[in-house]
Amino acid sequence: MCPCGSGRGFGQCCGPVLKDPRAAASAEALMRSRYTAYTLGASEHILRTWAPETRPREVYIDPARRWLGLKVKRREQGTPGDETGVVEFVARSKVGGKADRAHEVSEFRFDGDMWLYVAAARE
């Protein structure tokens, strides 16, 4: 099963997007692949799917962090034909026995031939 919790196999879900980000048909699909990249320690995928104007130089993925699950709470636009999209999610993890929960509203944009993560939305 895919780490993103979609219920599909890795090869039918995030696997193709990790190989080629253009395979993400929606902002949600890209967000799920980015979560999966964190679970696998694939920082290169995180960086190449981040919009250049907000992309950091590097991404540190804590190898001690154990990812426990992803729940998508809301989607706005972000489908084929849209220029932008918003995905709200909660990612649960554990580090050193301590539970952690990241709740984010992420902004995405379609840039030429692929979706890119722009930033956490300002509320």
Across 17-44, average pLDDT:
98
Q: Which fold has domain 10-120?
A: Nuclear Transport Factor 2; Chain: A, (3.10.450)
47-105 pLDDT tens trace:
999 999 999 999 999 999 999 999 999 999 999 999 999 999 999 999 999 999 999 99
For residue 45, report the phi and psi dihedrals to the nearest 5 degrees: -70, -40
Break the chain into its structural domains and give their ranges: 10-120
Strand spans (E) along the chain: 66-77, 84-95, 98-111, 114-120
Q: What is the mean pLDDT of the chain?
A: 97
- 37 touches 47 (CB < 8 A): no
Output the pTM of the full model: 0.95
pLDDT band at 122 (very low <50, low <70, confident <90, very high): low
